[in-house]
Amino acid sequence: MSNAAIPISLAQRSLPMGLLAAAGFLSAAGARVVDPLLAVIAQDFGTSVPRVSVLVAAFSFFYGLCQIVLGPIGDRFGKLRLMLGALVGYAIFTAACGLAPNLDYLTALRACAGAASAGLIPVCLAYIGDSVPYEIRQATLSRFLMGVMLAQALAGPLGGTFGEFLGWQGVFVLLGAAGLLTAAGLAVRIRELPDRTSEAVFNPENYVALASRPQCRDLLLATIIEGALVAGVISFVAPFLHEVYGLSFGGAGLVIAWFGLGALAYARLASGLISRMGEPRMVLFGTLLMAAAVTGVATSSHWAVLVPAEFLLGLGYFMMHTVLQARATELLPHARSTAVSSFVFMLFLGQALGALAAGGAIAAVGYRASFLISAGGLVVLGLGLHRFMRRSA
């Protein structure tokens, strides 16, 4: 399509929500499915959970790093075209993870899968931003995020069950096959869908604007902190359940599935919460809810406490995160994919650093103390985000 703006009514009618949600599901599942597998992969390769936490960091780091390149490409050549190529790459590298003979090869393949996955969720967010006015964008984003939230709910049980009974390799092969099917579905429809392009996006001034404008800079800095704090918890709940409470990998996966159920609860409540609370209170309440849930995990005396804690963690996370996502779609309206990709770069850079830092903290002081550190950080983040949202409202 030409670089003229897409008419909103046309874009809303043509919004391929099923394909967008499927892409979001695969990307989120690819990131989260390894969490309940950390312990079994460590056993297979004869190492420790903190050592194999590099698999989380590798995916997250290269997912974030590639945003710098993929964002402008999506703006220039079309977001759906970029998404199609990303789906094919995701399918190939994710399936190949199931053939990795050792941890080094698996880490490299996870990095490649993360790089390909970088062209999925951020591109979907930017495409929705092109198509939907801001007044209803959060509600539309919550519909898209249903795919992401389903992945949060199913990645744990899927990964845990395969890890325990069929081996972790089968999980990656299954996700790769699903990626190819989704790519085929998009390839069939891509010519009939509107897809905004622009010839003026490969411009360093876009990044200068993101770094120099206080509203942009503050949002991006908050995002890297968010990523680090959240990754310091959610990536290690499954091995915590296995090592501290002796749960099987399948049982741990079922417990962490409640994170996804909390996310789904948010999707059902999103429209009412947004209208009643407003963005400043949404981010504050969401982060405080997360901090309370993480404190419950850290101080638990029985694994059952983690079921409601995971539910509240998922609910609070999406209350906070979807507000930041919606704000990110408005940072650079003329180069939306560049702005959203920069937002995601900061998020996943934070997650990579947070996973590595948490792995070191767990090795040094244990799971519970590491979780309490993250809980304290979430309280500080919530207060800071509340102030930022009120100031920029």
| Model confidence band, residue 7 (pLDDT cutoffs 50, 70, 90) | very low
Contact 348, 60 (CB under 8 A): yes
Domains of the chain, earliest start first: 8-392 (1.20.1250.20)
The candidate with the shortest Cα–Cα distance to 160, out of 49, 64, 256, is 256
Name residue 52's amino acid: V
292-327 burial by CB neighbour count: b if 16+ within 10 A, else e?
bbbbbbbebeebebbeebbbbbbbbbbbbbbbbbbb
Average predicted confidence (pLDDT) for the chain: 84
Query: How confident is the model over 178-198, as a mean pLDDT?
Result: 86
Query: How confident is the model over 205-229, as a mean pLDDT?
Result: 87
The pLDDT of residue 393: 60
Contact 23, 150 (CB under 8 A): no
Contact 255, 249 (CB under 8 A): no
Report in angstroms the alpha-carbon separations of 293 from 61, 122, 234, 311, 355: 26, 27, 11, 8, 19
Query: How confident is the model over 381-390, as a mean pLDDT?
Result: 89
pLDDT digits (tens, 9 = 90+) for 13-66: 456 888 888 998 999 888 878 877 887 888 888 888 888 888 888 897 888 788
Q: What percent of the chain has pLDDT over 70?
A: 90
Lowest mean pLDDT among 219-228, 252-261, 298-307, 371-380: 252-261
| Model confidence band, residue 202 (pLDDT cutoffs 50, 70, 90) | low
